[in-house]
Amino acid sequence: MRLDRYLANLKYGTRNEITKKIKSKKVTVNGIVVTDSRYKVDTINDLVILEGIEIFYKETVLLMVHKPAGVISANKDGLHETVLDLIGEPYNRFDLRIAGRLDIDTEGLILLTNDGKLLHKIISPNKDVYKKYYVKTESKFDSKKLLKQFEIKDGRDIMFTPLLPKVEEISDNEFYLSIKEGKFHQVKRMVEHFNNKVVYLKRVSIGNIELDKDLEKGRYKEIIEYKI
C-alpha cells in the first residue's frame, strides 16, 4: 500500500498533510528515511515510524468490548458515552463498526470490527450465529414458552416471527436465551409478549466468542484467533 494512503487510512492526517510530513523526513521505514509518498509499504513486515510513533497496522481488527449500562451502541452521540468512545490508541484509528447493537441498559459482549465480511456474518440472521443473553425477568417466567412460534414487532413496528431460539433455564426468573436475529429490543419484546418484563439483560456470547470473564465493564481487548 502507498505510504501516504497507509498513514491517511490510520487517520494521521489528510493525504496532503501526510505528504508534507513525508517530504520533511518525518517518516522512516525499517529505519530508513522515506521521502516519497508513493513508497509501497509492506503492511505486514515493514516497521513504519512517524515522528517517533511506531505505527500499528492490521488489515482486519476484531475487538471484544464489555459494554456497561449507560453506554450506547452508536458511533457518536452528543449526550451519552458510546462504545466507540471506550476505545483508545491504536484501535481508535481503525474504521470500527458495531457488530450487533445493545440497548443502553443492556450490558455485555459487543464486537467491533473493520472487517465488512465478518460484520455481515455476525449480524445476518441467516448465518446461524447465535447471540446468547443472560435474562432476568420481573417475575416467574417459564422460558420454554419462547420455543413456540409467535410474532413480535421489529424496530419499524412490522410484525415478525423470531427464528427458533435456544433456552437454558437457570432459575424461575433467570435463563439464557440464544437468538439468531438482533432486532430492536428483541429479547425484551419476546418476554413482554408473555406479559412479563426483562429487568436485567446481558449478552454473554456471539457464536463461539464468549465474553471474557476477566474483562471488566468498560474494558476491551483484541481477539486474535477466533472462529465465529
Q: Is residue 196 part of the contact set for ligand URA (CB under 6 A)?
A: no
Total residues contacting ligand URA by CB under 6 A comes to: 8
| 188 lines the binding site for ligand URA (CB under 6 A) | yes
Is 103 annotated in the active site?
A: yes
- The residue from 46, 77, 85, 103 that is catalytic is 103
Residue 187 touching ligand URA (CB under 6 A): yes
Instruction: From residue 164, give the alpha-carbon distance in Å to each of 160, 178, 181, 182.
Output: 12, 9, 10, 13
**Beta-bridge partners for 113:** 62, 97
| Given 102, 123, 129, 146, the residue binding ligand URA (CB under 6 A) | 102
> 10 Å Cβ neighbour count for 212?
14
Question: Does position 201 bind ligand URA by CB under 6 A?
Answer: yes
Does 65 contact ligand URA by CB under 6 A? no
Taking the complex as a whole, how short is the minimal distance between the CB of residue 152 and ligand URA, in angstroms?
A: 10
Instruction: Please state, in angstroms and rounded to a whole number, the distance separating the CA atoms of residues 52 and 184.
Output: 45
CB distance 74 to 102 below 8 Å: no
Report yes or no: 228 and 208 within 8 Å, Cβ to Cβ.
yes
**Helix ranges (DSSP H) in the chain:** 3-9, 15-23, 116-123, 186-192
Distance, CA of 33 to CA of 28 (rounded, Å): 4
Segment interacting with ligand URA (CB under 6 A) among 19-27, 46-54, 84-92, 100-108: 100-108
Contact residue for ligand URA among 19, 113, 143, 186 (CB under 6 A): 186
* Structural Rg of the chain based on CA atoms: 22
Q: Per rule CB under 6 A, is residue 185 in the interface with ligand URA?
A: yes
**Residue closer to ligand URA, measured from CB, 106 or 137:** 106
Q: Which residues are identified as catalytic?
A: 103
Binding region for ligand URA (CB under 6 A)? 102-103, 106, 185-188, 201
